[in-house]
Protein backbone atom coordinates (compact mmCIF):
# COMPACT_ATOMS: atom_id res chain seq x y z
CA UNK A 1 0.00 0.00 0.00
CA UNK A 2 1.38 3.36 -1.04
CA UNK A 3 0.13 6.83 -0.19
CA UNK A 4 1.14 10.32 -1.16
CA UNK A 5 -0.06 12.87 1.38
CA UNK A 6 -0.31 16.51 0.48
CA UNK A 7 -1.03 19.03 3.20
CA UNK A 8 -3.60 21.33 1.66
CA UNK A 9 -5.49 24.48 2.46
CA UNK A 10 -8.17 23.14 0.10
CA UNK A 11 -8.68 20.36 -2.44
CA UNK A 12 -11.45 19.12 -4.70
CA UNK A 13 -12.33 16.42 -7.23
CA UNK A 14 -14.36 17.09 -10.36
CA UNK A 15 -15.73 14.44 -12.71
CA UNK A 16 -17.29 15.46 -16.03
CA UNK A 17 -17.60 19.08 -14.89
CA UNK A 18 -19.38 18.01 -11.67
CA UNK A 19 -17.64 18.60 -8.36
CA UNK A 20 -17.95 15.39 -6.34
CA UNK A 21 -15.80 16.27 -3.32
CA UNK A 22 -14.27 19.33 -1.69
CA UNK A 23 -12.38 19.88 1.54
CA UNK A 24 -10.85 22.80 3.38
CA UNK A 25 -7.63 22.49 5.39
CA UNK A 26 -6.39 18.93 5.70
CA UNK A 27 -4.89 16.18 3.59
CA UNK A 28 -5.22 15.11 0.00
CA UNK A 29 -4.39 11.39 0.04
CA UNK A 30 -3.47 9.62 -3.18
CA UNK A 31 -3.73 5.88 -2.45
CA UNK A 32 -2.21 3.01 -4.41
CA UNK A 33 -3.14 -0.55 -3.54
CA UNK A 34 -1.02 -3.58 -4.36
CA UNK A 35 -2.12 -7.21 -4.78
CA UNK A 36 -0.79 -8.23 -1.34
CA UNK A 37 -2.44 -5.38 0.57
CA UNK A 38 -5.19 -6.17 3.06
CA UNK A 39 -7.47 -4.63 5.69
CA UNK A 40 -4.80 -4.86 8.40
CA UNK A 41 -2.43 -2.71 6.32
CA UNK A 42 -5.27 -0.31 5.52
CA UNK A 43 -6.10 0.14 9.22
CA UNK A 44 -2.44 0.63 10.11
CA UNK A 45 -1.97 3.23 7.38
CA UNK A 46 -5.18 5.06 8.30
CA UNK A 47 -4.07 5.31 11.93
CA UNK A 48 -0.61 6.53 10.92
CA UNK A 49 -1.98 9.18 8.56
CA UNK A 50 -4.60 10.48 11.01
CA UNK A 51 -1.96 10.92 13.71
CA UNK A 52 1.01 12.03 11.59
CA UNK A 53 2.23 15.37 12.93
CA UNK A 54 2.77 17.45 9.79
CA UNK A 55 0.78 20.58 10.64
CA UNK A 56 2.30 23.58 12.34
CA UNK A 57 1.83 24.46 15.98
CA UNK A 58 1.88 27.97 17.47
CA UNK A 59 5.67 28.04 16.95
CA UNK A 60 5.53 26.89 13.34
CA UNK A 61 6.89 23.42 14.18
CA UNK A 62 5.28 20.33 12.66
CA UNK A 63 3.74 19.09 15.91
CA UNK A 64 0.04 18.78 15.07
CA UNK A 65 -1.90 16.08 13.24
CA UNK A 66 -4.80 16.58 10.87
CA UNK A 67 -7.02 15.51 13.79
CA UNK A 68 -5.42 18.13 16.04
CA UNK A 69 -6.26 20.94 13.60
CA UNK A 70 -9.82 19.70 12.94
CA UNK A 71 -8.91 19.05 9.31
CA UNK A 72 -10.45 16.84 6.66
CA UNK A 73 -9.21 14.26 4.18
CA UNK A 74 -9.86 13.84 0.48
CA UNK A 75 -9.01 10.30 -0.67
CA UNK A 76 -8.27 9.55 -4.32
CA UNK A 77 -7.49 6.03 -5.49
CA UNK A 78 -4.44 6.11 -7.76
CA UNK A 79 -3.13 2.85 -9.21
CA UNK A 80 -0.44 4.83 -11.06
CA UNK A 81 1.56 4.97 -7.82
CA UNK A 82 2.54 1.41 -8.75
CA UNK A 83 3.96 2.41 -12.15
CA UNK A 84 7.02 0.42 -13.20
CA UNK A 85 9.17 2.62 -15.43
CA UNK A 86 12.33 0.50 -15.49
CA UNK A 87 11.85 -0.68 -19.08
CA UNK A 88 10.92 1.30 -22.15
CA UNK A 89 8.96 4.52 -22.19
CA UNK A 90 5.50 3.28 -21.26
CA UNK A 91 4.88 2.51 -17.59
CA UNK A 92 3.62 -0.93 -16.63
CA UNK A 93 1.05 -1.29 -13.86
CA UNK A 94 1.35 -5.02 -13.19
CA UNK A 95 2.23 -4.36 -9.54
CA UNK A 96 -1.10 -2.62 -8.87
CA UNK A 97 -3.98 -4.61 -7.41
CA UNK A 98 -6.78 -5.50 -9.82
CA UNK A 99 -9.94 -3.40 -9.44
CA UNK A 100 -11.90 -6.22 -7.79
CA UNK A 101 -9.40 -6.16 -4.90
CA UNK A 102 -8.54 -2.45 -4.91
CA UNK A 103 -12.06 -1.00 -4.93
CA UNK A 104 -13.32 -2.64 -1.71
CA UNK A 105 -9.99 -2.04 0.03
CA UNK A 106 -10.08 1.64 -0.94
CA UNK A 107 -13.61 1.88 0.49
CA UNK A 108 -12.43 0.10 3.65
CA UNK A 109 -9.51 2.55 3.96
CA UNK A 110 -11.86 5.54 3.68
CA UNK A 111 -14.00 4.09 6.44
CA UNK A 112 -10.88 3.39 8.56
CA UNK A 113 -9.97 7.08 8.29
CA UNK A 114 -13.49 8.02 9.39
CA UNK A 115 -13.23 5.63 12.34
CA UNK A 116 -10.11 7.54 13.41
CA UNK A 117 -12.35 10.62 13.64
CA UNK A 118 -11.15 12.13 10.35
CA UNK A 119 -13.96 13.48 8.12
CA UNK A 120 -13.18 11.91 4.75
CA UNK A 121 -14.50 12.52 1.26
CA UNK A 122 -13.52 10.49 -1.79
CA UNK A 123 -13.11 10.70 -5.50
CA UNK A 124 -14.77 8.05 -7.65
CA UNK A 125 -12.91 4.78 -8.10
CA UNK A 126 -11.90 4.21 -11.71
CA UNK A 127 -13.24 7.54 -12.98
CA UNK A 128 -11.26 10.13 -14.93
CA UNK A 129 -10.95 12.87 -12.30
CA UNK A 130 -9.63 16.39 -12.17
CA UNK A 131 -8.00 16.92 -8.81
CA UNK A 132 -7.34 20.48 -7.71
CA UNK A 133 -5.37 21.41 -4.63
CA UNK A 134 -3.54 24.18 -2.92
CA UNK A 135 -0.54 22.49 -1.33
CA UNK A 136 0.15 24.18 1.99
CA UNK A 137 3.86 24.58 2.68
CA UNK A 138 4.35 22.85 0.31
CA UNK A 139 4.31 19.63 2.32
CA UNK A 140 4.19 16.30 0.47
CA UNK A 141 4.87 12.98 2.22
CA UNK A 142 5.36 9.53 0.64
CA UNK A 143 4.28 6.54 2.75
CA UNK A 144 4.52 2.86 2.02
CA UNK A 145 3.54 -0.22 4.03
Catalytic residue among 79, 116, 121, 122: 79
Catalytic residue among 78, 116, 121, 122: 78
Catalytic, 80? Answer yes
Assign 3-class secondary structure to the chain: CEEEEEEEEEEEEEECCEEEEEECCEEEEEEECCCCCCHHHHHHHHHHHHHCCCEECCCCCEEECCCCCCCEEEEEECHHHHCECCCCCCCECCCCCCHHHHHHHHHHHHHHHHHCCCCEEECCCCCCCEEEEEEEEEEEEEEEC
Catalytic, 79? Answer yes
Catalytic residue among 19, 39, 44, 80: 80
Residues assigned a catalytic role:
78-80
Amino acid sequence: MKAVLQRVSQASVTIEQRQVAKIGPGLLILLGIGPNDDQAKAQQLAYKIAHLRIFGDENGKMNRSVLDIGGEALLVSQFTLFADTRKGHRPAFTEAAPPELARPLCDFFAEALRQQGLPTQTGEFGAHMQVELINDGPVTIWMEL
